[in-house]
A = this chain, B = another copy of it.
Amino acid sequence: MEPGAIVKKMYDNDAFSQWLGIEVLDVQAGYCKLRMVVKKQMLNGFSLAHGGITYSLADSALAFASNSRGRQAVSVETSINHLEKLKAGDELLAETIELSVKNNIGFYRTEIKSDDKLVAIFNGTVFRTNKTW
């Protein structure tokens, strides 16, 4: 399967990414770019986007980018720094790039920007299984 077809298949079954309102803007082997908008349901007790929202966006981006090469991949470690406060209505763009990919392990970085400002940095390591798409 081609990268775009794999991600379409993943996304079409991904209820949570759909709930988040994620749009897939671009997919290539080892790469993807996503868009979403912060909604009121996504806010925490400070009226800011819950940390889980940017994490979830970045985690979907990691899943799409790392699976797009055709081997099924699962994350083994992810970390995120939340750099800026986000409010309802803010538009988020997430871009995942591949830093290194070996037979069994892949390393990816996702940056989330809002209005051209870096708002979160997410690093992810995946295990690449032997199952193919």
Contacts and interface: CB of A to CB of B under 8 A. Distances in A.
Interface of A: 9-17, 19, 40-47, 50-53, 55-57, 59-60, 63, 74-84, 99-100, 104-105, 107, 109, 118, 121, 123, 125, 127
A76 B107 CA distance: 9
Sorted from nearest, which 4 A-B pairs have the closest CB atoms?
A52-B56, A79-B79, A10-B45, A16-B50
Query: What secondary structure prevails in chain A residues at the interface with B?
Result: mixed
B78 A51 contact: yes
When all copies of this chain in the complex are counted, the total is: 4
A127 B104 contact: yes
Given A17-B44, A79-B77, A104-B127, A59 B51 contact: yes
A100 B63 CA distance: 22
A57 B118 CA distance: 24
26 contacts: A12-B45, A14-B44, A16-B42, A16-B43, A16-B44, A16-B53, A50-B60, A51-B55, A51-B59, A52-B53, A52-B57, A52-B60, A53-B56, A55-B55, A55-B56, A55-B78, A76-B77, A78-B79, A79-B79, A79-B80, A81-B100, A99-B118, A100-B118, A107-B121, A109-B121, A121-B123
